[in-house]
Amino acid sequence: MNLRRVVMDVDKAIQQPDILELATAMEAVTGVEAVNITVTEIDIETVGMNVTVEGDAINWSALVHAIEQTGAALHSIDQLAVGERIIEGVNRAR
């Protein structure tokens, strides 16, 4: 499977890792070409983030391992794009 984009909900502790450390760890994974981290929520102990990773043939297990090795936690996968190209979202009328 050619994993090209994954959008995830990731949480980390307030103190460690900082988002630069998390981004660096994810960028080093085979197939990753770009990482975008947006902080969405901060409370007393944790920071919630939307994380988007794009590339070509992203190594999924290595990506999850990189996130966990920094001390962050993957909460959910919110979007996946696989195949020869990325299809951008299309709004449907309901």
pLDDT of residue 17: 87
Write down the pTM of the prediction: 0.89
Domains of the chain, by residue range, sit at 3-82
Residue 73 CB neighbours (<10 A): 13
Say how far apart CA 60 and CA 52 lie, in whole Å: 13
Query: Taking CA 67 as the corner, what is the angle to CA 62 and CA 68, rounded to the nearest 5 degrees?
Result: 95
pLDDT of residue 91: 77
CATH architecture of the domain with range 3-82: 2-Layer Sandwich (3.30)
Say how far apart CA 48 and CA 60 lie, in whole Å: 21
Q: 30-79: per-residue pLDDT in tens?
A: 999 999 999 999 999 999 999 999 999 999 999 999 999 999 999 999 99
Q: 3-26: per-residue pLDDT in tens?
A: 999 999 999 998 888 999 999 999
* pLDDT confidence bin for 29, thresholds 50/70/90: very high
